[in-house]
Amino acid sequence: MHPMPNEMHKLLRPLNTIFGRLALLSVGLLVMMQLTWMVIVDRERGIIEADHVSRLVRLVLDPAASAADGSSERLAAALGLRFADAGPQSVPLGCPPPCADTHGPFETVLRADLPPQSRVVFDHTGDLMWVRYGPSSRWLVIPAILPPVSRLVSASALMLFLAIAIALLGAWQIQKPVLRLARAAREFRLGHRPPMVLANGPSEVKGLIGDFNEMARELSDAEQERAVMLAGVAHDLRAPITRIQVRANLVQDANARNGFFHDTESLAQIVTQFLDFARDSETDANAPWISVDAFCRSHYAEAEADVDGHDVLARDPLFVLDLQAGDDFRLPAVELDRILSNLVENAFNYGAPPLHIATSRHNGCDRLSVRDHGKGMPEAHFARALRPFVRIDPARGGDAHCGLGLTIVRRLTRRYGGDLSMHNADGGGLAVVLDFPLRVRA
């Protein structure tokens, strides 16, 4: 069976990184260079050594060069060589039977340098070479001139291993600052405030990291200034809203008084959203964590009973719960309340009941979703709906909202490593889906 495209993509994913590509390029070049070097060196050294041996054989065995006074024997002994006379079948004593010519690269080159009818036999077991010069009956036994191939391969393998190790270390050092920058950019995109990235590495990378640090600082300062401004405006509005509520009690006309109360409640909700949006501090590490399923049951389960204790449905339910994630799916109680409050309020104002609140475990994530039964939203508006102070259809949004609900929810979701997505549900309505990693932590 051939691997599926997704499985192949997972296998090749480690190579689709700076380190993976640098490592693959470096190792490939080193292996190719080492193999080329071994082939060239092995061939050239064979030719050079064959020429040396052929000169040695001529010096010792060539009748024209050999003296009759036994100087050939003395010369051979001085060079560490020895003679072997051929037996009845022209086979010298000690030559491995059948004592036939061997045809390695070295022997082939050596035979070409000797007269016709010369014989060259290489004994790999004893590291000896048997050479007959032309039709002579005398053989010369020469110790192996060339080092064994295994020694060359071992030395080459050691050199290749050291070169690959140095290349991988260099590739890792090159990609480290880029990896830190990528992680910091991801954290910054998710709304976190990463520490300043250490600027090192090549000059281009150092310049890029410096520009990123400066950009992150300026954006953080601008975000902080906006948060302070919103918090100040919201705080300053609380006092006049309270005074309007007090003075509304003095109005004699009931309709006018109710109108005043309705407007001040809307203003109070807008102020609350401003404060939630401006609040950008991390969650208290000691804040209690609660099961999402248990929280939803305690706040949104509807079971109305009559006086006799029998369950009745006096009206259509506002909420329908489908809680399947289990007790392991936990979030801080305060943050979970803010998430669900904004989602439910947004669904009631832009959609229609009943609201389906569901939890599940999906693709290795804990999932929380809230779906209404309204008209939904055009997909082209999904991205805009997540931007702060944006209302897709103000005519449908009521007068107590300023377009911050989904922005606050996404910010809180990303604070715990999750992400927010939306889609129009089958049968109508908008579904907002929050996916959190398993065993989510702040």
What 8-state DSSP symbol labels residue 96? P
In this predicted structure, the answer to whether residue 283 has a pLDDT above a threshold of 70 is no
In this predicted structure, the answer to whether residue 281 has a pLDDT above a threshold of 60 is no
146 and 82 in one domain?
A: yes
At 268, is the secondary structure helix, strand, or coil? helix
Buried b (16+ CB within 10 A) or exposed e, 242-272: eeebeebeeeeeeeeeeebeebbeebbbbbe
Lowest mean pLDDT among 32-41, 246-255, 344-353: 246-255
Residue 5 lies in a domain: no
> Residue 435: in which H helix or E strand, if any?
strand 430-437
371 and 329 in one domain?
A: yes
Strand locations in 302-385 (E): 319-323, 330-332, 355-362, 365-371
Mean pLDDT of 178-195: 77
* Prediction pTM value: 0.50
Residue-level pLDDT at 84 = 81
In this predicted structure, the answer to whether residue 255 has a pLDDT above a threshold of 80 is no
In this predicted structure, the answer to whether residue 395 has a pLDDT above a threshold of 80 is no
- State the chain's maximal CA–CA distance in angstroms: 148
CATH of the domain at 236: 1.10.287.130
265 and 325 in one domain?
A: no
199 and 81 in one domain?
A: no
Give the Cα separation of 220 and 214 in Å (integer).
10
At 85, is the secondary structure helix, strand, or coil? strand
Give the Cα separation of 318 and 310 in Å (integer).
19
421 and 402 in one domain?
A: yes
- End-to-end, the C-alpha distance of the chain in Å comes to 43
Considering only CA atoms, which of 377, 358, 376 is closest in space to residue 368? 358
Point out the domain boundary residue: 229, 261, 278: 278
351 and 414 in one domain?
A: yes
CATH of the domain at 286: 3.30.565.10
Summarised one tens digit per residue, pLDDT across range 284-305 is 566 788 888 888 888 887 643 3
327 and 266 in one domain?
A: no
Give the Cα separation of 315 and 313 in Å (integer).
5
Mean pLDDT of 59-88: 71
User: How far from 412 is each of 275, 282, 284, 337, CA to CA, in Å?
Assistant: 14, 10, 13, 11
Confidence of residue 140 (pLDDT cuts 50, 70, 90): confident
Residue-level pLDDT at 289 = 86
Please state, for a pLDDT cut of 90, what percent of the chain lies above it: 0
259 and 214 in one domain?
A: yes
Computed over every residue of the chain, the mean pLDDT equals 75
The answer to whether the beta carbons of residues 353 and 370 sit under 8 Å apart is no
Q: How many domains does the chain have?
A: 3
Residue-level pLDDT at 308 = 45
421 and 287 in one domain?
A: yes
239 and 136 in one domain?
A: no
Residue-level pLDDT at 230 = 65
127 and 28 in one domain?
A: yes
Residue 371 lies in a domain: yes
Residue-level pLDDT at 313 = 46
Confidence of residue 185 (pLDDT cuts 50, 70, 90): confident
Q: Which domain range does residue 34 map to?
A: 18-150
Mean pLDDT of 13-38: 78
384 and 324 in one domain?
A: yes
The answer to whether the beta carbons of residues 355 and 302 sit under 8 Å apart is no
